[in-house]
């Protein structure tokens, strides 16, 4: 059988990222190339937080693209990431979502591995003695060292764990770059983290739509009533759009204002509710934290798999796990810091009502992504328009722009050769 990948047919005007063809959200062959070139090669993907596995032997299951991995802290304290697939018969050997282990043993034939993924032994390797003969066994040239688990490259940056199937990937800090890395280190400056819990949702849309959502400062003050009404994010705020030199990662940085009516940004906006008053405003009991140094919100996209959210006192990582061209899982890990007071922890948890699958400003992001995907299915040759703030790429000193999306597609086209 011919195993060449299916050809990709795409009519995308060279160099133009102000239009994005629907086909890149719906074509399975394009998706397969994305998995190979973004999730399995040349990129670092998020797999978890070191605080989730504090002790030697602690492990959690995670994913890089569609491939299941196990993130485990070895006896030496170092964090390893191995593919959840036995070298023998391909069994996904780890079924517990988290736990503590001394070794990994595949249940099917008891092949055992150390916590780095090295094969320790296989039953009946030297055969089984029966009377004066020995039955079976592995061939004489069978080497344990040739049959370990797939071991991913791992880097831990101030408590955030990244992995790559590509052992030749560039160093993590160089991959992220100094522009966005600065904002990454604003949240993750080496302080000890406390895990507050998880939210998981399955969103029926292409995974890139979530990357775009957090590179799109246009929608929050229009779709999300809470943002425009209470001034958490809207077009009249002092904002910066930061992008790395290759256009793939970004930080949306802004400062809240008092909300309320402003003709320039609320006139005719149906989501703005001038008379909305909360019955219990503890959900918005914002307290400025010293480490913010100005901005009240920073939303980071680390292409292709991670969003880091700091929106007032609520903090989370959001992990994108694609499942086919039209669906992805979105895993939220909310966290705080080990030196938070009980009041601050409570505040972070209250503000979490804004986020996640039911959140006041996040539930409808999942909804509109689903509706986008349905729209794409209606017209195979359609394209989106992406022209707010011009047709160029790069950063901006305001939030009335779609430049970060165009920047991402500039990079995307280069890597995808589309």
307 lines the binding site for other proteins (CB under 8 A) = no
Sign, CA torsion 226/228/229/232 = positive
Q: Provide the CA 91 distance to its chain's centre, in angstroms.
A: 26
Q: Which of 202, 343, 377, 392 binds other proteins (CB under 8 A)?
A: 202
Burial of 10 (0-12, 13-18, 19+ CB in 10 A): middle
> What distance in Å separates the CA atoms of residue 169 and residue 152, rounded to the nearest whole number?
11
In the complex, least distance from residue 367 CB atom to other proteins, rounded to whole angstroms: 5
Residue 305 to residues 51, 308, 322, 329, Cα–Cα distance (Å): 19, 10, 9, 11
Nearer to other proteins, 205 or 247 (CB): 205
Taking the complex as a whole, the smallest distance from the CB of residue 373 to other proteins amounts, in Å, to: 11
Our finding on whether 334 is near other proteins (CB under 8 A) is yes
Determine if 200 is a binding residue for other proteins (CB under 8 A): yes
Contact flags string 226-265 toward other proteins, x per CB under 8 A? x---------------------------------------
269 binds other proteins (CB under 8 A): no
Alpha carbon 83 to its chain centroid, in Å, reads 18
**Shortest Å, Cβ 200 to other proteins:** 5
From 109, 125, 182, 282, residue interacting with other proteins (rule: CB under 8 A)? 282
CB of residue 84 vs other proteins: minimum separation in angstroms?
17
Number of neighbouring beta carbons within 10 Å of residue 145: 7
Contact 228, 269 (CB under 8 A): yes
DSSP string of 271-320, one letter each residue: T--TT---S-GGGG-----GGG-S-SEEEEEETTTEEEEEETTEEEEEEE
The residue range among 77-85, 148-156, 192-200, 231-239 that interacts with other proteins, by the rule CB under 8 A, is: 192-200
H/E element holding 43?
none
Nearest-approach distance from CB 214 to other proteins, in angstroms: 17
Q: What is the DSSP letter of 84?
A: S
345 in contact with other proteins (CB under 8 A): yes
In the complex, minimum distance from the CB of residue 399 to other proteins, in angstroms, rounded to a whole number = 20
Shortest reach from residue 151's CB to other proteins, in Å: 27
The answer to whether 326 and 177 are in contact (CB under 8 A) is no
Q: Which of 76, 132, 168, 280 binds other proteins (CB under 8 A)?
A: 280
Torsion of CA 205, 209, 213, 214, to 10 degrees: 120
- Using CB under 8 A as the binding rule, whether residue 97 contacts other proteins is answered as yes
Q: How far is the CB of 249 from other proteins (least distance, A)?
A: 26
Pick from 199, 239, 254, 313 the residue near other proteins by CB under 8 A: 199
Calculate the CA 139 to chain-centre distance.
43
On whether the CB atoms of residues 121 and 138 are closer than 8 A, the answer is: no
| Residues 363-392 interacting with other proteins (rule: CB under 8 A) | 363-364, 366-368, 370-371
| Binding of residue 104 to other proteins (CB under 8 A) | no
Among 357, 382, 394, 395, binds other proteins (CB under 8 A): 357
Quote the CA–CA distance of 273 and 217 in Å, as a whole number.
Answer: 20
Contact residue for other proteins among 54, 178, 197, 375 (CB under 8 A): 197
Among 28, 278, 288, 380, binds other proteins (CB under 8 A): 278
Selected binder of other proteins within 138, 196, 286, 400 (CB under 8 A)? 196
**Total residues in contact with other proteins, by rule CB under 8 A:** 41
Q: Which position among 148, 177, 204, 394 is part of the footprint of other proteins (CB under 8 A)?
A: 204
Residue whose C-alpha is closest to residue 398's, from 253, 243, 213, 244: 253
Query: Among 98, 74, 244, which residue's Cα sits nearest to residue 84?
Result: 98
- Residue 298, phi then psi, degrees to nearest 5: -135, 125
Torsion of CA 161, 165, 169, 173, to 10 degrees: -10
What is the distance between the alpha carbons of residues 277 and 229, in angstroms, rounded to a whole number?
Answer: 10
Residues lying near other proteins in the complex (CB under 8 A) are found at 97, 195-204, 223-226, 271, 273, 276, 278-280, 282-283, 329, 334, 345, 349-350, 352-353, 356-358, 360, 363-364, 366-368, 370-371
């Amino acid at each position: 059988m011919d195993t060449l990948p299916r050809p990709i047919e795409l009519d995308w005007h060279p160099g133009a990222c102000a239009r994005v063809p629907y086909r890149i959200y719906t074509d399975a062959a394009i998706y397969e190339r994305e998995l190979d070139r973004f999730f399995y090669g040349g990129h670092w993907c998020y797999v978890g937080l070191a605080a989730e596995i504090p002790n030697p032997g602690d492990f959690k299951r995670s994913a890089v693209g569609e491939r299941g991995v196990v993130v485990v802290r070895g006896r030496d304290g170092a964090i390893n990431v191995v593919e959840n697939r036995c070298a023998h018969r391909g069994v996904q050997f780890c079924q517990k979502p988290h736990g503590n282990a001394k070794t990994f043993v595949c249940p099917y034939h008891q092949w055992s591995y150390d916590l780095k993924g090295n094969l320790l032994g296989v039953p009946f390797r030297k055969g089984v003695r029966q009377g004066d003969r020995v039955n079976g066994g592995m061939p004489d040239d069978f080497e344990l060292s040739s049959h370990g688990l797939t071991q991913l490259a791992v880097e831990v940056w101030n408590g955030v764990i990244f992995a790559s199937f590509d052992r030749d990937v560039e160093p993590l800090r160089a991959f992220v770059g100094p522009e966005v890395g600065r904002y990454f280190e604003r949240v993750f400056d080496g302080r000890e983290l406390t895990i507050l819990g998880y939210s998981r949702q399955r969103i029926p849309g292409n995974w890139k739509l979530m990357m775009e959502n957090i590179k799109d400062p246009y929608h929050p003050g229009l779709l999300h009533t809470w943002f425009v009404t209470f001034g958490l994010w809207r077009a009249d705020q002092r904002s910066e759009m930061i992008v790395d030199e290759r256009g793939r990662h970004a930080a949306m940085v802004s400062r809240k204002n008092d909300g309320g009516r402003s003709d320039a940004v609320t006139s005719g906006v149906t989501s703005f509710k001038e008379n909305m008053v909360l019955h219990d405003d503890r959900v918005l009991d914002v307290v400025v934290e010293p480490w913010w140094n100005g901005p009240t919100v920073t939303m980071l996209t680390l292409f292709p798999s991670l969003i880091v959210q700091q929106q007032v006192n609520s903090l989370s990582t959001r992990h994108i796990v694609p499942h086919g061209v039209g669906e992805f899982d979105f895993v939220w890990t909310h966290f705080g810091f080990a030196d938070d007071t009980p009041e601050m922890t409570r505040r972070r948890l209250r503000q979490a009502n804004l986020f996640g699958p039911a959140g006041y400003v996040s539930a409808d992001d999942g909804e509109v992504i689903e509706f986008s995907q349905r729209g794409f299915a209606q017209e195979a040759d359609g394209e989106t328009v992406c022209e707010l703030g011009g047709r160029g790429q790069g950063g901006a000193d305001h939030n009335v722009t779609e430049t970060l999306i165009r920047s991402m597609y500039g990079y995307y086209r280069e890597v995808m050769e589309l």
